Amino acid sequence: MARTQNVVKKYIVRLSAEERERLSELISKGKRSAQLLRKARILLKADVSETGEGWSDARIAEALDTSVGTVERTRRQLVTEGFEATLTRKYNPNSARPRIFDGAKEARLIALACGPAPEGYARWSLSLLEEKVVELKIVEKASDNTIGRVLKKTRSSRISSANG
């Protein structure tokens, strides 16, 4: 195979024999995430060391049915963050929305829902509970959907699902 390299590659992949062996094992053994397998294949193809293939980003992208950007980001991550970081999935604490109801707030909501309904109503509705938890400053704001999910989790069946 002819080696083709971009002249202006900023992040060059040079893998040790141990790293190549580890990537090859990842690909051949066991079940792994598609993202991890794709990164392993990209790194093996991009490796410009003596035993590497040294493919261009465009050729790797075409062969692995991915984008050139993915190949570039994988090379950059290896060079800037290291081998282990490239193979480890990052956790983003901002990816999940923070919970509105913690344990104490949830308990207060359930106690409210299980208590007597407001005057003029036979039972609590989700919209009534939504207004009341804000009025009582249990939470700053909540939707009737959120209230319903919290109560469904506890199998509280005393609540009317009708909004009114």
Same structural domain, 115 and 77: no
Helices (H), the chain: 17-28, 34-46, 57-64, 68-81, 83-87, 103-114, 126-135, 144-153
For residue range 108-121, list pLDDT tens digits in order. 999 999 999 999 99
Whole-angstrom distance, CA of residue 38 vs CA of residue 64: 7
At 51 the pLDDT is 83
CA 7 and chain centroid, separation: 35
For the chain, what percent of residues have pLDDT higher than 90? 56
Tokens read off for 62: 């075409």
Range of the domain at 112: 103-153
Residue 74 domain flag: yes
Same structural domain, 27 and 67: yes
Higher pLDDT pick, 92 / 77: 77
How many domains are contained in the chain? 2
At 7 the pLDDT is 46
Q: Is 125 helix (H, G, I), strand (E, B) or coil?
A: strand
Residue 110 domain flag: yes
Tokens read off for 87: 């193979």
At 159 the pLDDT is 55
Is the model's pLDDT at 46 over the cut of 80? yes
Q: Quick one: angle between helices 34-46 and 17-28, nearest 10?
A: 140
Q: pLDDT grade, residue 2 (50/70/90)?
A: very low
Is the model's pLDDT at 158 over the cut of 80? no
